Amino acid sequence: MTSAGTDQATTPSPGRVTTPARRLALIAALLAGLLLTNLVIYAIGRALGGAFTYQQNGTAVLVEPVAVTFMSLAPLVFGLGLVAALSRKWPATIRVARIVAPILAVATIAVMTVPAGFDTTSALSLAAMHLALIPASLLALNALPRGPGRATRPFPPQ
């Protein structure tokens, strides 16, 4: 004989089970949120006088919203795809990615933004865009299934 409390503790409620379609929708929403955040940061940086230009082969190159869009989404989509593929066989990949993603977001500030020679406002805005990737990547990693046979699981992880 089981009690109602035991049944509730072992069976996730239907609203908390994350289906593949719901995971994809969550990841798409996170990507859209990241893009919107970065475009707002870009607009604020431009309004505050940031030139968003760097020198390449003696020519000033402007970082435009299209570049912000690509550089906001491409690394996260590529990384999530790679982690999703690897985590099917090695579920620990997600734990590793939760450490590596923030490190890469911060490291790319030092490797890409600082050496490019942006003005202070542009550099700070671009650095903020890199940092915005951290919560987006961590939340998106939470949406990935962990290992084979894990088609549905409670979200957020418990």
- 149, 146, 60: which is closest to 157 by C-alpha? 146
Using CA of residue 21, residue 28, residue 75, residue 130, what is the dihedral sign? negative
Q: What is the pLDDT of residue 20?
A: 85
Element (H, E) at 61: strand 59-62
How do residues 66-91 score in pLDDT, each as one tens digit?
Answer: 999 999 999 999 999 999 999 999 99
pLDDT greater than 80 at residue 5? no
Of the two residues 139 and 6, the one the predictor is more confident about is 139
pLDDT greater than 50 at residue 16? no
Could you tell me the pLDDT band of residue 145, with boundaries at 50, 70 and 90? confident
Mean pLDDT of all residues in 55-61: 92
- 146, 96, 88: which is closest to 155 by C-alpha? 146
